[in-house]
Structure 1
Amino acid sequence: MERKHGLGLGRYAGRSGGAARDGESARRAEKVRERVRLLIEITARSGAYRKGLVAAAAHLSAEEAAILADLEGHGLQVPQLHDVLCGGHVLVDDVRLYDKWNFAKVSHPRLSSHHRDIDKNRYPDIGMRGHVVREKLHGRTVQGTWVQLEKTPAAFGGRKLPSIDDVRHLVDYLVYRFTRSNVGPWGLSRRTERRPMYLSPMLAVPTSLTPPVARMLARTLHRIEEADDVTSASADLAARFPPPDRADLSKELGRSLSGRAGRGLFGASEVWVTQTPSRGAAAVLRESSLPSPGGWQAGGVS
């Protein structure tokens, strides 16, 4: 009897733990949705879009938010979000996104002419519909994942007779041919497959140096470091705190910066602070700059 009772408690505890995990996942998904909605509202204030973008963002699904959040996590900035929403072709050097964006309940296989060098039987293109993305289409590249938002979904080959969406998609293709711009859900973008947007590109290529070049480079780097050492601080401090003694400074070249290399989410966008400084902070700064009453006197401290 006690064993059965214990098993029952374990079963209920498992259910409680699963419910807690589901609740935490739902809270994280809602947090991501709110962040992406805010990004869309920010870019909608300055960019030119078709009507209805902000209203569509209010119905943003968790899957749509996850895709846009992943792009932001790979370096997408607010100005670049305009091209994404307008159908820009995006390349991300991360193969994991191909499977991550294949959502079980909302994704479906699609036919497209993008990246024909990829084996489409092994890596078929995947579509997904949503209020903001309209028709999201993504697939594999040689070393990553590509994604593009389309104004009109197409299902060529899925039916014997074309649907009205297929006709509209054909019209969008004609617009592309005449304007050389992709037709996205909220506008046109010049970021086509031939001129894509790159996120997190793998630019670091390992290479070796010949011994004479390596020695010359090491001497130059040592000379630069010594010059920085004497100019960045007073001479006595520089002598007391020498830099680390590294045998070969050339090995430090080419190391990539963590995160997004300091460019930030807003990058080159026209964002500035319009709020005046805090009065409390200004008062503290003024007080810290004033001399102390009576000042310091020699021999005043015993």
Structure 2
Amino acid sequence: MVFLKKILVVTVLFLGSYVALVKGLGPTKWLATQHTYQESLAKAEQYLYYTHQLCPRVVVGSSLSSMIQTFRIPGTCSLTFPGQTVFEGLRLLTENDSSPTCVYIEMNAVLRSEDKEFVDYLQSPVPYFLKKYLRVMRHDKQPIAKIGQLIHGIVEPHLITNTTFDKHSTQLHQYFRKESDISPKEYILDRQMQRMEELVSILEKKGCQIVFFEMPISPDLTNLAQPRAIRAFFLKHFSPTKYTYIFPEKDKIYTTLDGIHLTYEAALEYTAYFKKQVQEADKSLQ
């Protein structure tokens, strides 16, 4: 019995200290996640509970546009989720009180099906209320994730070799090239565009300006059947006479990890280009 009491006291002290630490460090410190899905949830929570107040611009998209380093573009937040689609970020904006002045929508991953459970989970009333006022309950504030992050930093460099990574990247590139060479079924494009139109309409009614952008990919994939079809459908459903588009620079080659995801160096280059386009869009949308 005495032993159990000691365990209880130690547990309470540990939890109390951890809660105080998280509260003292603020919402942007002590961030850690264990896997991609949790990372996406954490990014969404960070926006919902904190950064939505700071960002007149929001970029929404998939893992492709998550490579854009929005922290280098003042007043810009990111709702780009690896493993998800563009629709999750759009839903968060349409169902939340925040109203950014401009939303930048990635075009590339529009064919992927929306994960409705992702947003439903984030908007669930009781967890939403608790996480809003108790930071320690948010996905990026879990102690196990922080411990795992420290171990990961020590162990990973000894487990992954360049040869293994290069082989995997080549295989993925071949897979994405094959996938991009298949023309998407028209009814799927129509369905996805209809959903896009619904969400864009809601945002416009909230006073948001809309800009569409295409992430650069490997040159051998850029003009294959799928990217061309997506491009054409966007231009058909969202006229360039009404909406602003940001396309990659012509003849500019960005290096990729696997054909579709930019390397860190390429992401830096594209971020600089994207920043200039954002500044120009700001002027034209005023």
TM-score normalised by the shorter chain: which range applies?
Answer: under 0.3
More helix per residue: 2
The higher relative CO (CA closer than 8 Å, separation ≥ 6) is in 2
Which of 1 and 2 has greater Rg?
A: 1
After TM superposition, the score normalised by the length of structure 1 is 0.26
